[in-house]
C-alpha cells in the first residue's frame, strides 16, 4: 500500500508495519502434504498450522509457476510470499498440529491447538473452495469440534483448558488420539465426539503422540522426559521408555518428538540434544544419536531418519546415527519435517517459513505464508 | 617642272644645232617664259628639220647651220632659265619680307583669343556661383509684404528689383531670428530657475521615506507591544508575491493553516529580495517580452523600501548564498527565496506560555528541476540522519519525484547526497506539484489515488489539496517525528551512559521489575549507509567515548583498574586527531590483561573495530535474513491485491531499500553476573532503529554468550536457548508493542529494553533453578480438617515450542501458571 501525504493514515500505516512484522515472527508448527488421489505427480497441496491459530493450504505449483513468471529462473534461495488457497482461522491460540483422517473422499482435515480444541473439516469441501478460488474458508463449518475437558480444582475451581500439542489418528478404529497439556492423552471417538479413553500417567504435559496400528497401541512423549507405550484397549501404560541415563545428563530433557517407521518396529524420539532409536520388538534402545541442537521433529524415510531442531539444518541419518547429509533450510528453528510419498520434504518453523526440499536434496521453493 | 624644264634642255642640248639663232634673238625681249617657250618650239622645229634632213641626206650642209641655230636656242634657253631662277630668288626674298608682319599679327590674334576665353570662363564661374546658404527659409514674399514693418519694406516696394526685395527679406529674416534667440535665452533662464525649485522639492520628497522609516521604526515597539506586527507581515507578504508558485503554495497553505486552526507554526521568507526580483523579471521577459515592465517598475519602487532592512539582514543570506553558489552547478540552482518554517510544540506547558520550538525547516525551490527541497535548518546532523527522512513511507529524499527531473539529472542519477536539503515527495505534495508514481497505480495496487501532473492543474488540485489536509498532516508528522527523535535521543543518551532508561508508564510489568542484569554495552555500530565500510572517524570517537564511559563505569566495581582508567581518560581527552592511538592502546590493554579480568567485563572495542559488523553474526545467513526482511515488506505492500491467486512475489530488493535507509544499528549487551563457576551470561542484541521510529519500532536480534571462567567470551549459542531467544525477539519486537498505551509510543525503545531485561532475568532464573519439583497443588481446608478435593497442575511451559509462561500479578511477573 503506497501511502504518502495525500492519503495519510498513521494508524493504518502503523498497523501495516506491525502486520508485516507479524509474518516474520510467526511460527509454523506443522506443515504436511495433503494426500493426493493420484500418486504421480507428487502432492501439490501443503497444509500448515501456524502460531496465529490459522490452518491454511498452499498450492506448490501455483507458487512455483508465479515465481517463474516473475523471474524466469527460480532461485532456491529466494523466499516467496505465498497467499493461501484456503485459510481457516481454526484456533484461538497457536495451532500445533494438522493431520488427515483417512485419505479417501471422506477424509477429514484435523487440527489441534492451544485452545484445547480439535477441529475437523471435510477435505473435499475445502478442496471445492480452493478450486472455486474462495480463499476465506472460515465459513466452512468444522464437521467435528472437540474440546479438552477441564479439571476440577478445590472449591469448584476449574483448571484452564489444556492445549493439544499433537494428534494421532486411527482411521479404522474411528479414533483420534490427542496429546494434551494436562499430562493426559485422550482417545476421541470421531462418530460420537466423546472421549473413549483417557491415558493418565505422565507427570508433565505431552509433546507428541503416535499410533501403532499393528498392535493397537499409542506411544506418547512428554515434557517429563519419558515416552510411554499405552494399550488402547485397556488404557494402561505397558512400558515407560526413558533414555538410558548417562552420567553427564543432569536432567531429563522433554521428549519433544516421536516417530514410527513404516514397519512399526522402529521408534525414534528426540529428547533434548539426543535422538534415540528404539526397537519396539526387542524393547531396547538401539542407538543414541547426539545432534548439535535440540531435536524438534523427526520422521522416518525408509531406513533413514530425518530430524530437524533449533537450527536451520535438516539432518538425514541412518539407524546407527551416522549423519548422511545435512541440508540448510530456511527456518532458523524448525518445528516440523514431513514427507510426501514421493520423497519431497517440507520443513517449517520460525520466521513463518516453509521450505520445500525435493527428494534429491535441492530446494524446490521457500515460502512465507501471508494471511489475506 | 624641273624635269619638264630639263627635258627640253636635254632635248635642246641634243638638237642644239637646229635652233635658229634668229629666233633666239627675238626671244630676248620677251619674258623668259615666252622665250623659253619659243626657244623650245624653235628647237623642236629644228630638231624636226634635222630629222627630216637626216632621213634624206645625212651629209647636208644645212645641218651645221641648224646645229648652230640649235646652239643658239640652247643659249637662249639657259638664259631664260637663269632669268627664271633669278626671278625666283627675288620673289622668295620678297615673300620673306612680307611674312614677318603676318606672323606678328597672328600672334596678336592668338593672344586676344586666349584672353577672350579666359574672360568667358570667369564670367561663367561668376554666373555659376552658389550662395553659402542656399535655402534660407524665408517667410514667403506675400507674408513679407503683409507683415514686415515698413522700415524693412522701404517706401515703394513694387518698384524694387527682385534682388533688392530679396535683400530686404533677408534682413527681415535676420531680425526675426535675433529676436527668437533672445526669447530662447529668456526661457532658458526660466527653466533653470524652475529646475532649481524642482530639485529642492525632490530633495524634500526623497528625505520623506526615511522620515517615514524612522516613524515606522519608532512604532515597532508599539507594534510588538500590541502584537500587530504589521510591518513584518507586510514585508513577508510582499516577499511572498515574489515566491515561485511551488513555494507560494507552501507558504500560503501553511499560512492558512496557521490562521485558520491556530497551528503553532511560524513562517518566514528569507533570501535576497533583489535577486528574487531580477529572477522574476528574467522569467517574465523570457515568458512574454516587455509586458512585465510595468510590474518591474513597481517592483523597483519597493526595492527602495526594502533596501535598508536587507542591509540589516544581509549577513546571513549572503553567507548562505555565497557558499551555495560555489557548490551548486547549474542544475541545482535554487530560487533566491526560501521559506523557513518553525514548528512549535503543540502542547503548551503551564510554566512557559510560549511553546517550545521543535524544529526549523527550510524549503527551497530548484527551478531547473522543478522540485521543492526541504532540510532541517541548523541541525548538526548530516543529511542522512535528517528526521525528515522517510517521514512518509518510501521517501528517503534521494530519488527525484518527477520523471522529467530525473531525465535532467541524467540516467539513474540520484539526488546529490551531500546536499542538506532534499526533494522529499511530501514536499512536492505540499507544493502542489503532484506527480505520477513511477509504476502505474494499478500495478502497485494503489487504491485509486489520483495524481495530477503539470503546473496548470495546480488550481484544480488545490481543492483536493485542502481536502487531504496535507499541511496538517505534514506538520503533525514533523512534530511527532521530532518529538520521537528527541525522546529517542534521550533514551539513547541514557543507554549510552549504561543506565536504564526511565519509564514513566507504570502500567506494564517491566516498568516495576527490578533488573537483576545490568547494561554492559550500548554502542553504535553503524548506520545503513556505512554498514560494511570501515567505521568513520565519528564512530571511532564515539567508541572511544564509549570505552571511556565503560571504564569509568567499571571503576566502581573494580578498583584495580584505577591506573588504567587514568590512562584511558587522559587519552580520551586528547584531541581527536589520534583516535587510533587511543584505540590501539585500549586494545593492547585488553589483550594484556585479558586473562586477568576475563571474569569481569570485557571492553568490546577490539571486536567491533576489527571486523565489519556483519561478520559478528553468522555471515551468510545474516545476509539471507535481510533478504527475508525485504521480501516481507514488499509482499505486505502488495498484500491487498487479491484479484488473482497468483501472488506477486516479484521481490526486487531495491524496492524496499528505503526501509533500511538511515537505519542505525546498535549493539546492546546485558550481562547477568552469576557464580564464578558458571560465569557471566551476556545477552547481546543488535538493535536496528529506523528513521521511522516509533512508527516502525526498533528491531532486536538476540544472541547469547556465556562466559565460563578461564575461557574468553564465546558466542556459542546454546541450543536450548535458541527457541527462547526467538520467542523473546518476537515478544520484544512485536507483541509488547501492541500492549503499549499509545502515549508511550515515543518510549518504545525503553520499553523494549526493559522488557528484554525482564525476560532475560526470568529465563536465567528458570535456567539456574530448573523444575521446581511438585507442580500439583493440593489444598487443605484447615478449618474443616477435610482435604478439599481436586488440584490444579502448575506449569511453567506450554506448547510445542515450550514457551515459558509468565503470570502478571500486581505489576510484577512470576513464571508459571497457576502459581
Grid cell for residue A172: 479404522
Q: Residue ranges per domain, chain A?
A: 243-328
- Residues A317-334: what's their mean pLDDT? 87
Partners of A33 in beta bridges: A46
Residue A211 has pLDDT above 90, yes or no: yes
Least trusted range by pLDDT, from A325-334, B270-279, B597-606: B597-606
Chosen for mutation from B249, B649, B652 (greatest number of chain A CBs closer than 10 Å) is B649
Residues sharing a CB contact under 8 Å with residue A227, sequence separation 6 or more, in sequence order: A219, A220, A221, A240, A241, A242, A255, A258, A267, A269
The pLDDT of residue A176: 93
Bigger pLDDT: A103 vs B783: A103
At residue B342 the predicted structure's pLDDT band, cuts being 50, 70 and 90, is confident
Inspect the interface and report whether the beta carbons of B649 and A70 lie closer than 8 Å.
yes
pTM listed for this prediction: 0.63
Under the banding of pLDDT at 50, 70 and 90, the label for residue A71 is low
pLDDT of residue B544: 39
Mean pLDDT of B393-400: 76
Runs of H (alpha helix) within B227-334: 230-241, 245-261, 273-288, 293-313, 315-327
The residue that leads in pLDDT, A62 or A134, is A62
Res B817 pLDDT > 80: no
Q: Per the CB < 8 Å rule, is A154 touching B633? A: no
Q: Which of A5, A57, A76, A222 to mutate to test the interface with B (most CBs of B within 10 A)?
A: A5
Residue B439: DSSP 8-state: S
- Helices B748-768 + B470-496 axis angle, to 10: 40
As a whole number of angstroms, the distance between CA B798 and CA A298 comes to 20
Closest of B483, B469, B473 to residue B345, by C-alpha? B483
Give the confidence band of B277 by pLDDT, cuts at 50, 70, 90: confident
The predicted model gives B354-383 an average pLDDT of 76
Q: What local confidence, expressed as pLDDT, does residue A129 receive?
A: 79
Task: Provide mean pLDDT across the span A203-232.
Answer: 90
Poorest-confidence range of A94-103, A238-247, B652-661?
A: B652-661
* pLDDT value at residue B357: 76
How many angstroms separate the CA atoms of A78 and B628, rounded?
A: 8
Contact assignment for B695 to A10 by CB distance below 8 Å: yes
Question: Residue B102's pLDDT is what?
Answer: 94
Please list the residues that pair with A219 across neighbouring strands: A210, A229
Alpha-carbon dihedral B325, B329, B331, B336, rounded to 10 degrees? 0
Give the pLDDT score at A348: 92
pLDDT category at B677 given cuts 50, 70, 90 is low
Phi-psi label, residue A321: left if phi above 0, alpha if psi -120 to 50, beta otherwise: left
Mean pLDDT of B797-810: 72
Give the least confident one: A275-289, B49-63, B233-247, B569-583: B569-583
What's the pLDDT band for A169 if we cut at 50, 70, 90?
Answer: very high
Bridge-based pairing state of the strands A184-189 and A175-180: antiparallel
pLDDT of residue B313 exceeding 80: no
Rg (chain B; Cα; Å): 66
Question: How many angstroms away from the CA of B221 is the closest CA of chain A?
Answer: 40
Q: Is pLDDT at B453 greater than 70 in this prediction?
A: no
Q: Which of B464, B628, B722 sits opposite A351 (nearest CB)?
A: B628
**Is B627 within 8 Å of A19 when comparing Cβ atoms?**
no
On whether the CB atoms of residues A5 and B475 are closer than 8 A, the answer is no
Question: Residue A13: which of B393, B640, B719 has the nearest Cβ?
Answer: B393
pLDDT attached to residue B776: 52
By C-alpha distance, the chain A residue nearest B694 is A14
Going by pLDDT thresholds of 50, 70 and 90, the confidence category of residue B763 is confident
Q: Which CATH number fits domain A243-328: 3.40.50.2000, 3.20.20.70, 2.40.128.630, 3.90.1150.10?
A: 2.40.128.630
Q: State yes or no: pLDDT of B767 exceeds 50.
A: yes
Tell whether the model's pLDDT for residue B350 goes beyond 70.
no
Quote the ipTM score: 0.85
- Residue % of chain A over a pLDDT of 90: 23
Q: Which three cell numbers stand for residue B418?
A: 551531500
Give the pLDDT of residue B477.
Answer: 81
In chain B, % of residues over pLDDT 70: 58
Q: Please check the confidence at residue B187 and state whether its pLDDT lies above 60.
A: yes
Out of A324-328, B167-171, B698-702, which region has the weakest mean confidence (pLDDT)? B167-171
In this prediction, residue A38 carries a pLDDT of: 61
pLDDT at B189 over 90: yes
Tell me which long-range contacts B165-172 makes (C-beta under 8 A, separation of at least 24). B165/B141, B168/B144, B169/B138, B169/B139, B169/B141, B169/B144, B170/B136, B170/B138, B172/B139, B172/B144, B172/B148
Could you give the CA distance from residue A285 to residue B673 in angstroms, rounded to a whole number? 41
What is the C-alpha end-to-end distance of chain A, expressed in Å?
14
End-to-end CA distance of chain B: 188
Count Cβ neighbours within 10 Å for each residue of B73-91 and write b for 16 or more, e otherwise. bbbbbebbbebbeeeeeee
Res B164: pLDDT = 81
Q: Is the pLDDT of residue A235 over 80?
A: yes
The more confidently predicted of residues B13 and A125 is A125
Considering only residues B345 and B698, tell me which one the structure prediction assigns the higher pLDDT.
B698
Residue B101's pLDDT band, with cuts at 50, 70 and 90, is very high
Q: Could you tell me which chain A residue has the CA closest to the CA of B475?
A: A5
Mean pLDDT, range B579-592, rounded to an integer: 39
User: Where is average pLDDT lowest: A363-367, B436-440, B567-571?
Assistant: B567-571
- What is the structure's pLDDT at B791? 60
Which pLDDT band holds residue B594 (cuts at 50, 70, 90)? very low
Min distance B720 CA to chain A CA atoms (Å): 6
Chain A residues close to B771, C-beta within 8 Å = 251
Q: What is the mean pLDDT of residues B181-194?
A: 96
Task: Give the model confidence (pLDDT) of B282-302 as tens digits.
Answer: 777 766 544 444 444 444 444
What is the per-residue pLDDT across B192-221, written as a single tens digit (0 to 9) for each? 999 999 999 999 999 999 999 898 888 888
Residue B605 has pLDDT above 80, yes or no: no
Contact between B379 and B394 (Cβ < 8 Å): no
B266 vs A2, more confident: B266
| Residue in A closest to B449 by C-alpha | A7
**Closest partner residue to A293 among B647, B719, B726, by Cβ?**
B719
pLDDT of residue A44: 79
pLDDT, residue B449, reads 37
Identify the pLDDT of residue B182. Answer: 96
**Helix (H) or strand (E) segment spanning residue B35:** helix B32-56
Chain B closest-CA separation from residue A230 CA (Å): 21
Q: Please judge whether A309 and B473 are an interchain contact, meaning their C-beta atoms are less than 8 angstroms apart.
A: no
Q: What is the model's pLDDT at position B111?
A: 96
Mean pLDDT score, B401-416: 69
- Three-class DSSP category at B742: helix
Confidence of residue A313 (pLDDT cuts 50, 70, 90): confident
A-chain CB neighbours of B734 within 8 Å are 18, 21-22, 25
Do the chains contact at B790 and A16, CB–CB below 8 Å?
Answer: no
Q: Pick B41 or B618 by higher pLDDT.
A: B41
Q: How far is A333 from chain B (nearest CA, A)?
A: 7
Amino acid at each position: 500500500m503506497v501511502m504518502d501525504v495525500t492519503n495519510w493514515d498513521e494508524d493504518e500505516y502503523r498497523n501495516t508495519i506491525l502486520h508485516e512484522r507479524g509474518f516474520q515472527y510467526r511460527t509454523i508448527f506443522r506443515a504436511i502434504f495433503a494426500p493426493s488421489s493420484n500418486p504421480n505427480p507428487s502432492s501439490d497441496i501443503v497444509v500448515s498450522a501456524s502460531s496465529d491459530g490459522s490452518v491454511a493450504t498452499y498450492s506448490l505449483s501455483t507458487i512455483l509457476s508465479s515465481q517463474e513468471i516473475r523471474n524466469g529462473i527460480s532461485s532456491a534461495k529466494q523466499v516467496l510470499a505465498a497467499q493461501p488457497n484456503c485459510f481457516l482461522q481454526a484456533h484461538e491460540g497457536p495451532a500445533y498440529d494438522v493431520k488427515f483422517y483417512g485419505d479417501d473422499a471422506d477424509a477429514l482435515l484435523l487440527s489441534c491447538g492451544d485452545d484445547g480444541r480439535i477441529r475437523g473439516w471435510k477435505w473435499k469441501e475445502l478442496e471445492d473452495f480452493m478450486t472455486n478460488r474462495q480463499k476465506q474458508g472460515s465459513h466452512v463449518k468444522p464437521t467435528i469440534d472437540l474440546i479438552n475437558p477441564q479439571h476440577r480444582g478445590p472449591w469448584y475451581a476449574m483448571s484452564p483448558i489444556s492445549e493439544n500439542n499433537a494428534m494421532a489418528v486411527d482411521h479404522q478404529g474411528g479414533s483420534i488420539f490427542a496429546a494434551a497439556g494436562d499430562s493426559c492423552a485422550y482417545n476421541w471417538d470421531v462418530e460420537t465426539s466423546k472421549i473413549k479413553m483417557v491415558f493418565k500417567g505422565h507427570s508433565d504435559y505431552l509433546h507428541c503422540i503416535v499410533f501403532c496400528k499393528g498392535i493397537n497401541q499409542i506411544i506418547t512423549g512428554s515434557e517429563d522426559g519419558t515416552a510411554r507405550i499405552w494399550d488402547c484397549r485397556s488404557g494402561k501404560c505397558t512400558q515407560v521408555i526413558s533414555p538410558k541415563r548417562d552420567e553427564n545428563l543432569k536432567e531429563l530433557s522433554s521428549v519433544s518428538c516421536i516417530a514410527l517407521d513404516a514397519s512399526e518396529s522402529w521408534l525414534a524420539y528426540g529428547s533434548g540434544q539426543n535422538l534415540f532409536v528404539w526397537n519396539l520388538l526387542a524393547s531396547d534402545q538401539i542407538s543414541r544419536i547426539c545432534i548439535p541442537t535440540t531435536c524438534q521433529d523427526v520422521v522416518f524415510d525408509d531406513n533413514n531418519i530425518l530430524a530437524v531442531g533449533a537450527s536451520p539444518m535438516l539432518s538425514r541419518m541412518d539407524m546407527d546415527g551416522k549423519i548422511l547429509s545435512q541440508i540448510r533450510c530456511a527456518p532458523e528453528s524448525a518445528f516440523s519435517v514431513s514427507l510426501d510419498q514421493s520423497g519431497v520434504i517440507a520443513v517449517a518453523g520460525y520466521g513463518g517459513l516453509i521450505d520445500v526440499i525435493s527428494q534429491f536434496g535441492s530446494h524446490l521453493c521457500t515460502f512465507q505464508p501471508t494471511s489475506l | 617642272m624641273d624635269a619638264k624644264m630639263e627635258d627640253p634642255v636635254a632635248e635642246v642640248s641634243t638638237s642644239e644645232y637646229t635652233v635658229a639663232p634668229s629666233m633666239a634673238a627675238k626671244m630676248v625681249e620677251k619674258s623668259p617664259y615666252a622665250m623659253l617657250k619659243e626657244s623650245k618650239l624653235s628647237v623642236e622645229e629644228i630638231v624636226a628639220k634635222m630629222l627630216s634632213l637626216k632621213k634624206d641626206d645625212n651629209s647636208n650642209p644645212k645641218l651645221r647651220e641648224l646645229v648652230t641655230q640649235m646652239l643658239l636656242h640652247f643659249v637662249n634657253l639657259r638664259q631664260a632659265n637663269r632669268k627664271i631662277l633669278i626671278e625666283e630668288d627675288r620673289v622668295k626674298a620678297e615673300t620673306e619680307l612680307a611674312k614677318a608682319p603676318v606672323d606678328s599679327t597672328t600672334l596678336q590674334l592668338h593672344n586676344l583669343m586666349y584672353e577672350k576665353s579666359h574672360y568667358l570662363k570667369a564670367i561663367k564661374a561668376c554666373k555659376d556661383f552658389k550662395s553659402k546658404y542656399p535655402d534660407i527659409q524665408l517667410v514667403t514674399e506675400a507674408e513679407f509684404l503683409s507683415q514686415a514693418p515698413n522700415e524693412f519694406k522701404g517706401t515703394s516696394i513694387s518698384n524694387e528689383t527682385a534682388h533688392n526685395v530679396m535683400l530686404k527679406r533677408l534682413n527681415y529674416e535676420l531680425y526675426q531670428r535675433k529676436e527668437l534667440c533672445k526669447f530662447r535665452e529668456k526661457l532658458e533662464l526660466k527653466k533653470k530657475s524652475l529646475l532649481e525649485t524642482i530639485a529642492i522639492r525632490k530633495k524634500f520628497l526623497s528625505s520623506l521615506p526615511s522620515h517615514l522609516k524612522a516613524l515606522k521604526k519608532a512604532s515597532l515597539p508599539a507594534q510588538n507591544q500590541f502584537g500587530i506586527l504589521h510591518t513584518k507581515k507586510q514585508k513577508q507578504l510582499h516577499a511572498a508575491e515574489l515566491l515561485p508558485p511551488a513555494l507560494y503554495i507552501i507558504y500560503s497553505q501553511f499560512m492558512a493553516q496557521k490562521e485558520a486552526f491556530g497551528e503553532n507554526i511560524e513562517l518566514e521568507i528569507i533570501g535576497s529580495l533583489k535577486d528574487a526580483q531580477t529572477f522574476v523579471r528574467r522569467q517574465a521577459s523570457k515568458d512574454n517580452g516587455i509586458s512585465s515592465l510595468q510590474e518591474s517598475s513597481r517592483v523597483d519602487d519597493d526595492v527602495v523600501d526594502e533596501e535598508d532592512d536587507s542591509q540589516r539582514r544581509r549577513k546571513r543570506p549572503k553567507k548562505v548564498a555565497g557558499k551555495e553558489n560555489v557548490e551548486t552547478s547549474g542544475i541545482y540552482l535554487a530560487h533566491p527565496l526560501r521559506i523557513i518554517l518553525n514548528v512549535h510544540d503543540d502542547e503548551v506547558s503551564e510554566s512557559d506560555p510560549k511553546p517550545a520550538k521543535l524544529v526549523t525547516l527550510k524549503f527551497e525551490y530548484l527551478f531547473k528541476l522543478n522540485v521543492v527541497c526541504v532540510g532541517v535548518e541548523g541541525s548538526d546532523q548530516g543529511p542522512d540522519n535528517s528526521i525528515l527522512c522517510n517521514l512518509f513511507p518510501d521517501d528517503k529524499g534521494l530519488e527525484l519525484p518527477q520523471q522529467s527531473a530525473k531525465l535532467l539529472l541524467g540516467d539513474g542519477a540520484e539526488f546529490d547526497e551531500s546536499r542538506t536539503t532534499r526533494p522529499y515527495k511530501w514536499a512536492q505534495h505540499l507544493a502542489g506539484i503532484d506527480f505520477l508514481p513511477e509504476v502505474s497505480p494499478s500495478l502497485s495496487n494503489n487504491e485509486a489515488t489520483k495524481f495530477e501532473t503539470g503546473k496548470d492543474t495546480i488550481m484544480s488540485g488545490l481543492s483536493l489539496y485542502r481536502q487531504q489536509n496535507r499541511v496538517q498532516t505534514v506538520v503533525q508528522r514533523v512534530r511527532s517525528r521530532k518529538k520521537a527523535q528527541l525522546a529517542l535521543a534521550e533514551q539513547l543518551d541514557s543507554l549510552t551512559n549504561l543506565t536504564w532508561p526511565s519509564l514513566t508508564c507504570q502500567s506494564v510489568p517491566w516498568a516495576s521489575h527490578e533488573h537483576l542484569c545490568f547494561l554492559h554495552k550500548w554502542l553504535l555500530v553503524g548506520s545503513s549507509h556505512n554498514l560494511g565500510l570501515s567505521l568513520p572517524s565519528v564512530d571511532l570517537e564515539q567508541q572511544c567515548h564509549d570505552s571511556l564511559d565503560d571504564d569509568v563505569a567499571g571503576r566502581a566495581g573494580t578498583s584495580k583498574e584505577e591506573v588504567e582508567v587514568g590512562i584511558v581518560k587522559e587519552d580520551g581527552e586528547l584531541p581527536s586527531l589520534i583516535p587510533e592511538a587511543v584505540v590501539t592502546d585500549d586494545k593492547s590493554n585488553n589483550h594484556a590483561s585479558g586473562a586477568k579480568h576475563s571474569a569481569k567485563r570485557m571492553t568490546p572495542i577490539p571486536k567491533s573495530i576489527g571486523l565489519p559488523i556483519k561478520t559478528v553474526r553468522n555471515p551468510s545467513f545474516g545476509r539471507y535474513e535481510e533478504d527475508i526482511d525485504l521480501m516481507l515488506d514488499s509482499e505486505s505492500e502488495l498484500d491487498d491485491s487479491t484479484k488473482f491467486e497468483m501472488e506477486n512475489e516479484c521481490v526486487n530488493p531495491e524496492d524496499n531499500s528505503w526501509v533500511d535507509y538511515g537505519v542505525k544499528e546498535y549493539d546492546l549487551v546485558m550481562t547477568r553476573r552469576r557464580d564464578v563457576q558458571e560465569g557471566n551470561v551476556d545477552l547481546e542484541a543488535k538493535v536496528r532503529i529506523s528513521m521511522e521510529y516509533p512508527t516502525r519500532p526498533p528491531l532486536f536480534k538476540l544472541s547469547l554468550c556465556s562466559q565460563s571462567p578461564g575461557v574468553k567470551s564465546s558466542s556459542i549459542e546454546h541450543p536450548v536457548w535458541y527457541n527462547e531467544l526467538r520467542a523473546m525477539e518476537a515478544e520484544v519486537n512485536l507483541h509488547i508493542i501492541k500492549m503499549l498505551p499509545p502515549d508511550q509510543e515515543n518510549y518504545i525503545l525503553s520499553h523494549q529494553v526493559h522488557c528484554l531485561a525482564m525476560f532475560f532475568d526470568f529465563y536465567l532464573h528458570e535456567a539456574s533453578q530448573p523444575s521446581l519439583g511438585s507442580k500439583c497443588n493440593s489444598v487443605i481446608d484447615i478449618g474443616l480438617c477435610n482435604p478439599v478435593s481436586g488440584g490444579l497442575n502448575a506449569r511453567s511451559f506450554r506448547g510445542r515450542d515450550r514457551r515459558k509462561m509468565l503470570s502478571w500479578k500486581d505489576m510484577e511477573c512470576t513464571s508459571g501458571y497457576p502459581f
